[in-house]
Amino acid sequence: MKEQIETRITKLIESVRKAAPKDSSGTPLSDDALERLVDAVEVVLLLVNALEENTPDKIYFKDLQGRFICVSKSYSMALGDPGEAVGKTDFDIFTAEHAQRLFEDEQQIIRTGEPIVNKVEKEAWLDGSTTWAVTTKMPVRDKRGAIVGTFGISRDITKLTHAQEALKKSEERYRILFNHINDVAFVHGITPEGLPGRYTEVNDVASEQTGYSREELLRMSPLDFRPPEGAWREVEQEMMARLKAEKHAAWESIHVSKAGQKIPVEIRSQLLEVGGEPTVLTIMRDVSDLKQLEENLEREKSLLLTLINNLPDYVSVKDTESRVLIANTANARVMGLEAPQDAIGKTDLDFFPREEAARYLADERIVMETGAPLINKEEESIDREGHKRWTLTTKVPLRNSQGRVVGVVCTGRDITERKQAEERIHDLARLSEENPNPVMRVSPDGSILYQNRSSLSLLSSRAWAQGGRVPSEHMPELLKAWATGETRKIEASDNENVVELTIAPVPSRGYINLYGRDITQEKSLAAKFLQAQKMEAVGRLAGGVAHDFNNILQAIVGFSEMILAKSGEKLEVDKYVNIIKGSALRAASLTQHLLAFSRKQMLAPKVVDADLLIEESLEMLNRVLGENISITHESEAKDNHVRVDPGQFGQVITNLAVNARDAMPHGGKLRINVSRKEAPGEGSVPSFEMLPGEYVLIQVSDTGTGMDQETLSHLFEPFFTTKALGRGTCLGLSIVSGVVRQSGG
């Protein structure tokens, strides 16, 4: 190693000699000066060699013109072989601009003899690269103290510089982020007593919100911001202990500003380790607005709860699982609870029968899934006492600030009393509809506003249709009733129906009620009663006439027989007596008819089979009716016994058959049907006064011309006929009526 150093010194001295060093004036050095320079270089080289073994720094020597005389091994990495570097200048290594600055520094040292210490320089190399170095340069003196060159030591600090720049940028970013935190940010340590130490860093917001400058804050600790009252020292000590144990903590406190304002704050602290020391990063947020908002919300919540708890309607708010979040007092009562809070977190399944609760939950699910509200749904249920209950329910989706459905709001109103009132109203309405008598409502001008079913049935013509008007013939009475406010009565006829209407004005409501009564049958019965009275009078007259007439006929017939009996010869008078007798007999027959009509004839009733009597009459009827009329006898029952006079029964059948024959001049069919009927009932003849019981009904029908309404109205009147003059006695059907009625039919 020693030999290598000596060889290197020898080569460098030779290089120095060959370089022919010059002084500052450019004059080559004298031999004596050159020797002194070589001696100095040799000493320095020995020192440099020693330094090279122990330092990474670059060491070099230059002459007065800035030419390298000697460079260290570490410098040779950049300059090449030390021997080749000798004689070169910085202009051969660096850019002209950088080399010029280096040359000027060295010339300054040569002029002043003052060193340049720890100058940081950015080195610009000819290959375009740059490095950073911290350089110390000083003059090199010979033994006499004369400056013969410069000596320099340069340390590469490129990595350090880059690290410092990165750190600076990081600090700048940290400072930017730190100062852009919207909340107050503090950094402080923890004292040995476990209390928060002084602030070591604060952001700009801290100054703005506390009113203190940055410099003032850096002389303070968190305890300086607490109110004088209260055990804040213990609180802070407890929080620091929590930080050490959990590394983070959050709590609420009171912060006093420089102006003395007490501010509620939320504190969040994180424990870090910086430089081996516990360091606390605290973010403090002014929650004055939040506290005010909470107070407002609490006040509004209290107001809302007071309001909904005093509502008679059921109110509840539920989450997406239909669990109760809010319920009012009315809702709690219907659930069977003492307090609304007892419903929180529960569903309808906890309070109502499963089937009923399932309906409620299904409706809520649909509302939340579709977002469509359920408005005014009437729901029927059974309460806890077993009574029917009706609720008018509305359910709407509950949405958050983003519009997402997060639950459902339910309201319900007990409408049980309303439904019961409606049912009573409907019952009253049905009373009118179910009334068998007509009920109508009309306006004073006669417009028909309402009709019940009975009025639509009895007064079915268009003249009485709802939406129409009262027929004009009844308007005078209607107007009189409206003008006087008194009730009046009218009779309204429609088709075959007759209705008596009571006009009842209701001036306070602006309409007139008409209450009707079907008097069709009453009218018919009155007419029939009048007819019966007339018939009875005629009967009594016919009976009286018949008795008197019969007495006269008896005398005529008797004396005629006596004359015939005493006459021994067939005298001419016999002819006339026979004529008298025949006429008297016909008059007697007429008398019998009159007696039958008047129900004064003596009958000999007995129980006989009606079908057998009809069969016995068929042979005689065939001769009477003729060949062009066919007779059919039908029986719907086997036992058709009746209690009648057989002779009069045959007369009834004969009279009906003769009338049928006269109605079929060109022939036809005669049908006699026998059946059994309960009377009075379907099939009974309204004009007959019949006791309730079972009767034999004999119907005689034909295919003849029939009778019109006018003829039917006189059907059983005596002496009424549609036949030509001289044909019949005009008593056929009247006799039928008399015999049937006298026989209990």
Q: Which pLDDT tens digit goes with each residue over 180-231? A: 677 888 888 898 888 999 988 888 888 888 889 989 988 998 888 888 887 8
What's the gap between Cα 569 and its chain centre?
Answer: 122
Segment among 170-179, 469-478, 599-608, 721-730 with least mean pLDDT: 721-730
Residue 178's nearest CA partner among 206, 154, 151 is 206
Q: What is the pLDDT of residue 173?
A: 64
Q: What is the pLDDT of residue 320?
A: 92
The whole-angstrom separation of Cα 122 and Cα 119 is: 10
What's the gap between Cα 166 and its chain centre?
Answer: 64
622 compared with 42, residue with greater pLDDT: 622
* For the chain, percent of residues with pLDDT exceeding 70: 75
Which tens digit of pLDDT belongs to each residue from 149-169?
998 988 888 887 777 777 666
Tell me the pLDDT band of 1, cut-offs 50, 70 and 90.
very low
Structure tokens at 636: 């719907």
Which tens digit of pLDDT belongs to each residue from 588-642?
655 665 555 555 455 678 888 888 888 888 877 787 778 888 888 888 877 888 8
Which tens digit of pLDDT belongs to each residue from 639-661?
888 888 887 787 788 888 888 88
Residue 712 neighbours by CB under 8 Å, 6+ apart: none
Segment among 12-26, 222-236, 283-297 with least mean pLDDT: 12-26
Residue 406 — left, alpha, or beta (φ > 0 → left; ψ -120 to 50 → alpha)?
alpha
Q: What is the pLDDT of residue 303?
A: 85
Q: What is the pLDDT of residue 139?
A: 92
Which tens digit of pLDDT belongs to each residue from 52-92?
555 677 888 888 998 888 777 767 666 655 456 778 888 98
Per-residue pLDDT, averaged over 367-379, amounts to: 93
Per-residue pLDDT, averaged over 537-545, amounts to: 57
Q: What is the pLDDT of residue 252?
A: 86
Residue 255 in this model has a pLDDT that exceeds 60 = yes
Cα–Cα distances in Å, from 384 out to 268, 313, 320, 368, 388?
53, 18, 27, 29, 10
Mean pLDDT of all residues in the chain? Answer: 80
Tell me whether residue 376 is exposed, middle or buried, using C-beta atoms within 10 angstroms of its C-beta: 0 to 12, 13 to 18, 19 or more.
exposed
Contact 650, 617 (CB under 8 A): yes
Which range of 236-245, 553-562, 598-607 scores highest in mean pLDDT? It is 236-245
Could you check whether the bond before residue 680 is cis, i.e. omega within 30 degrees of 0? yes
Q: What is the pLDDT of residue 307?
A: 84
Per-residue pLDDT, averaged over 529-547, amounts to: 59
Query: Mind listing the domains of the chain with CATH numbers?
Result: 2-158 (3.30.450.20), 181-286 (3.30.450.20), 292-419 (3.30.450.20), 435-518 (3.30.450.20), 524-595 (1.10.287), 603-742 (3.30.565.10)
Residue 687's nearest CA partner among 492, 532, 549 is 532
Q: What is the pLDDT of residue 502?
A: 92
State how beta strands 668-679 and 629-635 pair: parallel
Q: Say which DSSP state 447 is in.
A: B
Residue 204's nearest CA partner among 222, 182, 226, 220 is 182
Q: What is the pLDDT of residue 365?
A: 95
Segment among 92-96, 477-481, 494-498, 573-577 with least mean pLDDT: 573-577
Segment among 131-140, 255-264, 286-295, 359-368 with least mean pLDDT: 286-295
Residue 587 in this model has a pLDDT that exceeds 50 = yes
Residue 726 in this model has a pLDDT that exceeds 90 = no
- What b/e readout covers 119-146, taking b as 16+ CB neighbours within 10 angstroms? eebebbeeeeeebbbbbebebbeeeeee
The whole-angstrom separation of Cα 695 and Cα 637 is: 12
Q: In what order do the strands lie in the sheet with 488-494?
A: 448-451, 439-442, 511-518, 497-506, 488-494
Residue 541 in this model has a pLDDT that exceeds 90 = no
Long-range contacts of 536-541 (CB under 8 A, 24+ apart): 538/718, 539/597, 539/598, 539/599, 539/600, 539/738, 540/598
Segment among 208-217, 463-472, 533-542 with least mean pLDDT: 533-542
Q: What is the pLDDT of residue 373?
A: 94
The whole-angstrom separation of Cα 489 and Cα 338 is: 63
Q: What's the distance, Cα to Cα, between the start and end of the chain in Å?
A: 170
Structure tokens at 73: 């091994």
Residue 684 in this model has a pLDDT that exceeds 50 = no
Which tens digit of pLDDT belongs to each residue from 296-316?
888 888 888 888 888 888 999
Q: How is 394-428 classified by DSSP, letter by letter? A: EEEEEE-TTS-EEEEEEEEEE-HHHHHHHHHHHHH
Segment among 289-293, 505-509, 698-702, 727-731 with least mean pLDDT: 727-731
Segment among 240-249, 350-359, 491-500, 503-512 with least mean pLDDT: 491-500
Tell me the pLDDT band of 731, cut-offs 50, 70 and 90.
very low
Tell me the pLDDT band of 729, cut-offs 50, 70 and 90.
very low
414 compared with 591, residue with greater pLDDT: 414
Per-residue pLDDT, averaged over 37-58, amounts to: 66
Which tens digit of pLDDT belongs to each residue from 97-128?
999 999 999 999 999 999 999 998 888 988 88
The whole-angstrom separation of Cα 733 and Cα 537 is: 18
Residue 277's nearest CA partner among 225, 200, 170 is 200
